[in-house]
Amino acid sequence: VRKPKGPTSAAVLNLLKERLLAEAGVQTNGNKKNQVLKIGHGGTLDSAATGVLVVGIGKGTKMLGTMLAGSKKYTAIGMLGKATDTLDATGKVTEEKPYDQVTKGDLENVLQKFTGDIMQVPPLYSALKKDGERLSTLMKRGEAVEAKPARPVRVYSLSLQQFQPPLFTLDVECGGGFYVRSLVSDIGKELSTCATVQELTRTKQGPFTLEEHALQEDKWTIDEIAQSLEHCTALLLGEPARKKLKTEHPGETAVIC
């Protein structure tokens, strides 16, 4: 699906699930033990971001790990001269620095330092967990959170698409565990200023692309999903695009991706 800007990944899944169950005429009565539609996503996307969110439905949830073993691509718009606590436009400004000295050539040269196998410190506002809770949840409660240690990540390609100070646009292709927000922040520091993400769009995850495979919110229906699966059959590693699922009660409908 194409995740709209604003809702969390979990909220997008709940909305999708509610729509499919309502369309199928299934009454759940809020009893989780009697769920007839299992649904999950293959990688959290920031609430402030938009783009590809790969969703598994039914038996498709067991395929997510295999399907998403490839790289991810993002388009990010960064802003020089400001830093925030969340490393994006949703946070509180924590620092401001001049950026007039930064040229397009400076930016392009710096990007070379962030290409290949590098070490990266994840942002404090993230889906990473401490004692079973997300760091972002702990931060929002005002609890003290220590930064996670730098860890190895891979950047397959990184290019500057546009530079109109203070804004700059990047195209990034990376491996798992990579944070574009941390990248933009680190770029700002490397340029002797600061920077934060203003807009972030995931354009590819595994074999799925925003242009070819993502469904807009107005197409989150059983028929549209089935048609989309027909288009994506070659990506499903030999799994049939659609199957009949046995349900516990006659007349119930289940959907599988």
Q: What is the 3-state secondary structure (H, E, C) of 226-255?
A: HHHHHHCHHHCCCCCCCCCCCCCCCCCCCC
Q: Give CB contacts under 8 A, 24+ apart, made by 133-140.
A: 139/85
The CA distance from 132 to 105, in Å, is 44
Q: What is the three-state SS of 114-163? A: HCEEEEECCCCCCCCEECCEEHHHHHHCCCCCCCCCCEEEEEEEEEEEEE
Residues annotated as part of the active site = 46
Taken as a whole, the chain contains a residue count of: 257
At what angle are helices 104-111 and 180-190 packed, to 10 degrees? 120
